Chain A
Amino acid sequence: MNDQVGVRGRRWFQALTGDDTSQSGDPGSVLASKASLGSREALFLCVVPNPESRFPCVRDGQVGLEEAYALASHIRALIAEDEDKPKEEKRPIVAIVDVKSQAYGRREETVGIFLAAATAADAYATARMKGHPVVSLIAGHAFSGGFLTHGYQANRLVAFDDKGIVIHAMHEEAAARITRRSVADLLRLGHEIPPMSYDVHDYARLGLLHELLHMESPEEPVASEVAKVRLSLTNAIADCANGERDLSNRWKNPQANVMRKAGNAVRELMEQEWQRA
């Protein structure tokens, strides 16, 4: 595993907002800031490692209880502030994603981390359904329950085109163990079976991304690249206005027509059968 998880997230958050400290009342692992993007103000959110966390199992950048509830609080506050505004004025949310996973801890399970994760996903999805453009910028790792909690409910997903980007349901060692393969076999299979792959190019083939953004220096935000990311996010936000408020863009696109053929056939058949049932 890359032990640098969260470093990129923090750097890009800082580059885009000029801010890199947590707000009072928030855990040190959650960065939230309202900053300008294009011609408007947006809420930026990021989860970063906090070695001081009182929850031991989130110290390396995992998303735990406090992280999920802090994210949900910020999103719910924005929804409330913009409640009566017309759709065009509802402020965008940008989730900067560089998360190792959900927290794998006994404290978290005891308290019910499933509900915490659901609460954050609910807040993101509610914002999207109410007309806030929600865009995720995948700047590093986007793993499993961490990604479901923080970022996967966005209208549009933008990822850096870079070897440091890993989007997956489970990290290599664990996935190999559970599917009873060697890590080498798992990685080889990934090239033949795109949904298994750890390579962001294969992920892009699934049709889930809005944009794969080529970067010269994904680890060090330089001015020209920051401008490029801002432009990409602004375009993605504008694109939200043209689309549905659900996630159907992820399976209604030319790439998904190929890679998610089976799933799309299911939807089509069920639509027909539903009418007759």
Chain B
Amino acid sequence: MNTEDTIMEFIHRRSFIELDARGRAQSLLDEGSFKELAGPFARMQSPWLPMQGVAPQSDDGCVVLKGKIDGKPAVVISLEGKFQGGSIGEVSGAKICAALDLATRDSVQGTPTPAILLLETGGVRLQEANLGLAAVAEVIASVLSLRPHAPVITIIAGTVGCFGGMSLVAGLSSYVLMTREARLGLNGPEVIEQESGVDEFDSKDRALIWAIDGGEQRVGMGLADALVEDNVEAFTTAVRSLLAKGIPAVHRSELVDCYRSRIEALDVTEQIDPAELRAQWRQADVEGGVR
């Protein structure tokens, strides 16, 4: 490609990451096919934030669109990382759960309705602590109810990443798509540094963070399914190809013996080198054909 073509492609590329939660969700569904549920005009907002002097948002940072992909039903659930770090509170948690449960009901009754989760979240919203944690437990339960009947696809695209309790939701999903910029882990680097000290994890070491949590690493070690370029067309294509694959024969979170024996085999006297681990697990996947 010559320079001019490269520049033109760059100009015409529609970034997925730069869209807000609603825009990302809309971009995945057939044009004109979708409707937002419990949208901003319904004013379903957190009752707990105003009590603490924090401004609520009329959609609680969670957008649910019911619509179609290639003419077939689907629901897209999209978290807004710019509102309270995409955190899960009572209202956003109930939205996610309700959407998944309704998709399960339709799927069981003969209308398969896959769910696509756009996770940009630090996990539980600490201002709603125990209701946030309870909501995450309920989301986990709802993903597991839907998963046998229709695929659940998690997309982690933006730089907020997917951390805390919602990382379990990624772990339970039928498929996980990530960008190079995205991160996936249970504990964010700052939390580890605070709890276990800077020697355990230096949260300013960006290279280390992406070496461990980054999209390339997570896909490389087999804990996510595909690395996607940051543009809308790449995501719509990737989602369609996963929907075409359907429900996987076995889910990653069912591979108890496989991962248990890999962990048993690790030398953990020193910190684990992420690149070496990736190479080992990749090789094991090739030989063992994980799934």
Please tell me which one of the listed residues A110, A125, A270 contacts residue B212 in the complex, with CB atoms under 8 A apart: A110
Q: Chain B residues with Cβ under 8 A from A233's Cβ?
A: none
Q: Is A174 an interface residue (CB 8 A)?
A: yes
B116-142 CB mask vs A (1 if < 8 Å, else 0) is 000000001011111111111110111
Q: Are B145 and A69 in contact (CB under 8 A)?
A: no
Residue of B nearest to A259 (CB): B131
Q: Which of A170-195 contact B (CB under 8 A)?
A: 170, 174-175, 177-179, 189, 192-195
Q: Are B186 and A264 in contact (CB under 8 A)?
A: no
Given A116-B259, A117-B168, do A169 and B133 touch, yes or no (CB 8 Å)?
A: yes
Q: Which of B41-82 contact A (CB under 8 A)?
A: 42, 44-48, 51-52, 64, 66-67
Contact-residue size bin, chain A (C-beta under 8 Å from the other chain)? 35 or more
Given A115-B259, A196-B127, do A273 and B35 touch, yes or no (CB 8 Å)?
A: yes
A61 to chain B: closest CB distance in Å?
14
Instruction: Tell me what chain A mostly uses at the interface: helix, strand, loop, or mixed.
Output: helix
Q: Chain A residues with Cβ under 8 A from B191's Cβ?
A: 104, 174
Q: Is A277 an interface residue (CB 8 A)?
A: yes
Q: Are A104 and B133 in contact (CB under 8 A)?
A: no
Q: Is B24 an interface residue (CB 8 A)?
A: no
Q: Are A114 and B90 in contact (CB under 8 A)?
A: no
Q: Is A121 an interface residue (CB 8 A)?
A: yes
Q: Are B187 and A147 in contact (CB under 8 A)?
A: no
Q: Are A106 and B192 in contact (CB under 8 A)?
A: yes
Please tell me which one of the listed residues A104, A192, A269 contacts residue B44 in the complex, with CB atoms under 8 A apart: A269
Q: Chain A residues with Cβ under 8 A from B66's Cβ?
A: 274, 277
A250 to chain B: closest CB distance in Å?
7
Given A110-B271, A112-B223, do A73 and B102 touch, yes or no (CB 8 Å)?
A: no
Q: Is A266 an interface residue (CB 8 A)?
A: yes
Q: Are B260 and A175 in contact (CB under 8 A)?
A: no
| Assembled-state Cα–Cα distance A174/B126 (Å) | 10
Count of residues in B whose CB is under 8 Å from the partner chain: 86
| Assembled-state Cα–Cα distance A261/B131 (Å) | 12
B128 to chain A: closest CB distance in Å?
5
Q: Chain A residues with Cβ under 8 A from B48's Cβ?
A: 193, 195-196
Instruction: Tell me what chain B mostly uses at the interface: helix, strand, loop, or mixed.
Output: helix
Q: Chain A residues with Cβ under 8 A from B255's Cβ?
A: 119
Please tell me which one of the listed residues B38, B97, B272 contacts residue A273 in the complex, with CB atoms under 8 A apart: B38
Q: Are A111 and B272 in contact (CB under 8 A)?
A: yes
Q: Are B93 and A263 in contact (CB under 8 A)?
A: yes
Q: Is A160 an interface residue (CB 8 A)?
A: no
B279 to chain A: closest CB distance in Å?
13
Q: Are B44 and A262 in contact (CB under 8 A)?
A: yes
Q: Chain A residues with Cβ under 8 A from B168's Cβ?
A: 114, 117-118, 121, 145, 148-149
- Can you list 21 contacts pairing A with B, beta carbon distance less than 8 Å? A54-B268, A66-B263, A106-B192, A106-B196, A111-B272, A113-B185, A114-B168, A115-B252, A118-B171, A118-B172, A118-B253, A129-B145, A152-B137, A169-B132, A170-B124, A259-B131, A262-B44, A262-B90, A267-B98, A270-B64, A277-B66
Q: What residues make up the interface of B, taking CB atoms closer than 8 Å to A?
A: 34-35, 37-38, 42, 44-48, 51-52, 64, 66-67, 90-91, 93-95, 97-99, 101-102, 124, 126-138, 140-142, 144-145, 164-165, 167-172, 184-187, 191-192, 194-196, 200-201, 212-213, 218, 221, 223, 251-257, 259-260, 263-264, 266, 268-269, 271-272, 274, 277
Additional pairs, 11, CB under 8 Å, beyond known A195-B128, A267-B97: A104-B187, A108-B186, A109-B186, A109-B213, A110-B277, A117-B186, A121-B253, A175-B126, A251-B138, A263-B91, A266-B95
